Structure 1
């Protein structure tokens, strides 16, 4: 099979995105599995390589995917010319950096929509910086929804055996409760089932978490499970999906980690994010560093493939050489798997 072309955004130029991109592109295994190209600004990468000389790579600056070399030791950079390097302040929120990060995302979506690349991977952007630049989106997921004309999509986080799809994400907790509706839960169950098949799982087992403590305890702690979640599960069972729920959230995630289920449908942002990050993120207080920042983010329901790192811009770690590229490498691996089964 021809190795898929994977477009990777540099993320916020003032963040750890440039550093971890350079580190990932130094991994020979990535080139053996795909043809990677970075969408960003070459002058930022050159500056980072000056400060972190151990991360040097030869840059091939292009404005057309056809000009990419896809050779190990060479970083193909779709050069966007968005950053004035003399004005860029690393590790700080800025309008210029926020606009650049947004433009990288828009370009990688355009390249995928035009079939110039097979999958997209995003580094972290800073929402405050992006909004300062006049781009008012809650995050990557909403940008992808807008520029792919996709009304129904959802976020999946994954680390190891634990995969989590979310009924809602970037809304208040009060709003999240109101968004637990039968039709939305049904859509998320369908998306969860499909992504497992796209990853090569022939007969996925889907679990659906409850919203309330003990999944409502038969209405004692809330009736969303009775009115919205259980009817959605039963409707999807009738369509042939192997799905169970609602299951109390305090037990469904360890069951998934242990192999009882292939994926969990969580009801809101933190319900799904916390268990994934407890497993994938490991902080060492003595060394004052993250030993592991693993796990990835996938947007489901889009006509194109999008995976992402599962961490933020980490402005406090910029240009220290300590930023961890594992999440980016994991996101690239997921993009490759999805592209091969697309």
Structure 2
């Protein structure tokens, strides 16, 4: 049976992505009754039950899972067709769905949106903040901004800016405990370890040519799975943290933190944009990535960055300026 109204399919996809009828209703600016009625009408047309739902729970049936997978592909193809027409007009328009971690979104995306919209007033931006690695196709996301090495993937990757980690501490801590001169000196200091599981092995590369990498097993005074908590502890003078330069650039510039071990560098995966294959044809995505890449590379926090060694194992996609496949850190 031909589904004549694509709105019902779009509502169905958003209900699955958000996990509930009420959340989809809020996102689509519709009433809960309308969303429920449209979903029921879709099931009636298909002659199958797509989901089991109560006020607290929403779960797809087997038929719902199969139908959702196909609907996502269909809608993505339609959006790409629309974007292709728009790109030929050289006009970036439409809704762009972006996901990033909370810290990166606050520091490097939200403050830049006014400048982006000044250049591209017809692009609406939906920023989904989460530390969870989402399935971009299933979630309807156009692009994810990530700072981690990627597993093998069919996703496209565009490198936006270099990155490296900096051991840092507040002046109040250094006044009491002094500064480490070598990575091994960290073993005598109060250290703040981040991550779940914790990133307790801190790796450094001496700036001198042909020096061997150094790995230090940190015995933390403070351990947390939240980067913002670790940063707050460092700012309060609790100890030394190893933080990405994009996260602490403002604190270093303002003197709230001081970078340590200047003779050493701690490499980290680059800032990357990850998106489904085929989406690079969208004018709105190209516009956003070109804008964000230029903004990040001009940011003072990267001014003294030396490029970390990042090797892409797959061929360059010349059309999109990205890489397809896995990136590994060495």
Greater Rg, structure 1 or structure 2? 2
Task: Answer yes or no: same fold by TM over 0.5.
Answer: no
Name the structure with the higher strand share: 2
TM-score between both structures, scaled by the size of structure 2: 0.30
